[in-house]
Amino acid sequence: MLRSLIRPALLLATSVGTLQAQKVKPGAVELVRLENAWATGLVKRDTALFEKMLAPKFVYTENDKLMQRAEVLHDLVAGGDTVTAAHNEDMTVHEFGSVTAVVTGWLIVQGHGSGGAFTHRYRFTDTWVKRKSRWQIVAAEDYLAPK
Protein backbone atom coordinates (compact mmCIF):
# COMPACT_ATOMS: atom_id res chain seq x y z
CA MET A 1 0.00 0.00 0.00
CA LEU A 2 1.50 3.28 -1.01
CA ARG A 3 1.27 6.31 1.13
CA SER A 4 2.53 8.22 -1.75
CA LEU A 5 3.44 8.57 -0.90
CA ILE A 6 9.92 15.69 3.19
CA ARG A 7 15.76 23.68 8.66
CA PRO A 8 15.42 23.45 12.15
CA ALA A 9 12.86 20.91 13.22
CA LEU A 10 9.41 22.21 14.07
CA LEU A 11 6.97 19.80 15.71
CA LEU A 12 3.50 20.25 14.28
CA ALA A 13 0.06 19.11 15.28
CA THR A 14 -2.09 17.71 12.47
CA SER A 15 -4.73 20.43 12.79
CA VAL A 16 -4.14 23.40 10.50
CA GLY A 17 -6.23 25.56 12.84
CA THR A 18 -3.96 24.67 15.75
CA LEU A 19 -0.91 25.50 13.64
CA GLN A 20 -2.27 28.89 12.68
CA ALA A 21 -3.09 29.64 16.32
CA GLN A 22 0.55 28.87 17.19
CA LYS A 23 1.77 31.33 14.50
CA VAL A 24 3.70 28.66 12.62
CA LYS A 25 5.21 29.69 9.29
CA PRO A 26 2.67 29.69 6.43
CA GLY A 27 4.75 27.17 4.45
CA ALA A 28 4.54 24.67 7.30
CA VAL A 29 0.78 25.13 7.61
CA GLU A 30 0.38 24.57 3.87
CA LEU A 31 2.51 21.42 3.90
CA VAL A 32 0.55 19.90 6.77
CA ARG A 33 -2.66 20.71 4.87
CA LEU A 34 -1.26 19.01 1.75
CA GLU A 35 -0.15 15.94 3.69
CA ASN A 36 -3.65 15.63 5.16
CA ALA A 37 -5.15 16.07 1.68
CA TRP A 38 -2.95 13.17 0.53
CA ALA A 39 -4.41 10.91 3.24
CA THR A 40 -7.94 11.88 2.21
CA GLY A 41 -7.00 11.34 -1.44
CA LEU A 42 -6.03 7.74 -0.68
CA VAL A 43 -9.61 6.95 0.32
CA LYS A 44 -11.06 8.76 -2.71
CA ARG A 45 -8.39 7.51 -5.16
CA ASP A 46 -8.11 11.13 -6.23
CA THR A 47 -6.11 10.95 -9.47
CA ALA A 48 -6.15 14.72 -10.07
CA LEU A 49 -4.79 15.43 -6.58
CA PHE A 50 -1.95 12.93 -6.90
CA GLU A 51 -1.00 14.13 -10.40
CA LYS A 52 -0.84 17.70 -9.11
CA MET A 53 1.19 16.82 -6.00
CA LEU A 54 3.81 14.55 -7.56
CA ALA A 55 6.64 16.31 -9.41
CA PRO A 56 7.43 15.07 -12.95
CA LYS A 57 10.64 13.30 -11.81
CA PHE A 58 9.16 12.03 -8.52
CA VAL A 59 10.88 8.99 -6.99
CA TYR A 60 9.49 6.74 -4.26
CA THR A 61 10.85 4.04 -2.00
CA GLU A 62 8.89 1.71 0.25
CA ASN A 63 10.93 -0.75 2.25
CA ASP A 64 13.03 -2.41 -0.50
CA LYS A 65 11.03 -1.18 -3.54
CA LEU A 66 11.99 1.77 -5.77
CA MET A 67 9.29 3.26 -8.01
CA GLN A 68 8.92 6.14 -10.45
CA ARG A 69 5.99 8.57 -10.71
CA ALA A 70 3.95 6.58 -13.26
CA GLU A 71 4.13 3.38 -11.21
CA VAL A 72 3.11 5.19 -8.05
CA LEU A 73 0.17 6.92 -9.75
CA HIS A 74 -1.04 3.59 -11.14
CA ASP A 75 -0.84 1.87 -7.74
CA LEU A 76 -2.59 4.77 -5.99
CA VAL A 77 -5.61 4.84 -8.29
CA ALA A 78 -5.82 1.29 -9.67
CA GLY A 79 -4.00 -0.88 -7.13
CA GLY A 80 -5.56 -3.97 -5.59
CA ASP A 81 -5.97 -2.56 -2.08
CA THR A 82 -8.99 -0.47 -1.12
CA VAL A 83 -8.33 2.20 1.49
CA THR A 84 -11.34 2.93 3.71
CA ALA A 85 -9.66 5.33 6.17
CA ALA A 86 -6.34 7.17 6.39
CA HIS A 87 -4.88 9.85 8.63
CA ASN A 88 -1.53 11.33 9.66
CA GLU A 89 0.00 11.58 13.12
CA ASP A 90 3.02 13.32 14.65
CA MET A 91 4.00 15.33 11.58
CA THR A 92 7.09 17.50 11.70
CA VAL A 93 8.00 20.05 9.03
CA HIS A 94 11.71 20.71 8.48
CA GLU A 95 12.22 23.79 6.31
CA PHE A 96 15.37 24.32 4.23
CA GLY A 97 14.93 27.87 2.95
CA SER A 98 11.76 29.10 1.30
CA VAL A 99 11.39 26.47 -1.44
CA THR A 100 12.46 23.14 0.09
CA ALA A 101 11.03 21.21 3.02
CA VAL A 102 10.91 17.73 4.46
CA VAL A 103 7.82 16.42 6.25
CA THR A 104 8.10 13.40 8.52
CA GLY A 105 5.36 11.59 10.36
CA TRP A 106 3.16 8.54 10.57
CA LEU A 107 0.43 7.57 8.11
CA ILE A 108 -2.17 5.13 9.40
CA VAL A 109 -4.11 3.37 6.65
CA GLN A 110 -7.08 1.01 7.04
CA GLY A 111 -8.69 -0.99 4.29
CA HIS A 112 -8.89 -4.36 2.62
CA GLY A 113 -7.13 -6.25 -0.13
CA SER A 114 -6.50 -9.76 -1.37
CA GLY A 115 -5.18 -10.72 2.08
CA GLY A 116 -8.28 -9.40 3.88
CA ALA A 117 -8.69 -6.37 6.14
CA PHE A 118 -5.59 -4.44 7.18
CA THR A 119 -4.35 -1.58 9.30
CA HIS A 120 -0.89 -0.35 8.28
CA ARG A 121 1.34 2.19 10.02
CA TYR A 122 3.86 3.85 7.74
CA ARG A 123 6.75 6.02 8.93
CA PHE A 124 7.08 8.53 6.11
CA THR A 125 9.52 11.12 4.84
CA ASP A 126 8.34 13.41 2.03
CA THR A 127 10.62 15.91 0.29
CA TRP A 128 8.73 18.94 -1.04
CA VAL A 129 9.94 21.65 -3.44
CA LYS A 130 8.04 24.85 -4.17
CA ARG A 131 7.86 25.62 -7.90
CA LYS A 132 5.85 28.43 -9.45
CA SER A 133 4.29 29.12 -6.01
CA ARG A 134 3.07 25.51 -5.69
CA TRP A 135 4.48 22.75 -3.47
CA GLN A 136 5.21 19.35 -5.07
CA ILE A 137 6.65 16.14 -3.67
CA VAL A 138 9.93 15.28 -5.41
CA ALA A 139 10.80 12.22 -3.31
CA ALA A 140 9.05 10.09 -0.71
CA GLU A 141 9.98 7.16 1.47
CA ASP A 142 7.61 4.97 3.44
CA TYR A 143 8.52 2.26 5.91
CA LEU A 144 5.79 -0.22 6.82
CA ALA A 145 6.20 -0.66 10.56
CA PRO A 146 6.02 -4.26 11.77
CA LYS A 147 2.95 -5.18 13.77
Threshold 0.85, pTM exceeds: no
- Residue 137, Cβ density class (10 Å: 0-12 exposed, 13-18 middle, ≥19 buried): buried
Residue 4 lies in a domain: no
Q: What is the pLDDT of residue 66?
A: 98
pLDDT given at position 5: 38
The total number of structural domains in the chain stands at: 1
Q: Is residue 3 part of a domain?
A: no
Q: Per residue of the chain (147 residues), what is the pLDDT tens digit?
A: 444 332 223 333 334 444 443 446 778 999 999 999 999 999 999 999 999 999 999 999 999 999 999 999 999 999 999 999 999 999 999 999 999 999 999 999 999 999 999 999 999 999 999 999 999 999 999 999 998
Query: Is residue 112 a part of any domain in this protein?
Result: yes
Give the pLDDT of residue 17.
46
User: Considering the domain boundaries, does residue 1 fall inside one?
Assistant: no
Element (H, E) at 52: helix 47-53
Question: Is the residue at 114 inside a domain?
Answer: yes
pLDDT, residue 65, reads 95
Residue 100 sits in a domain of what CATH number?
A: 3.10.450.50
Residue 118: give the domain boundaries: 9-144
- Say how many CA atoms lie within 13 Å of 63 toward its Cβ: 7
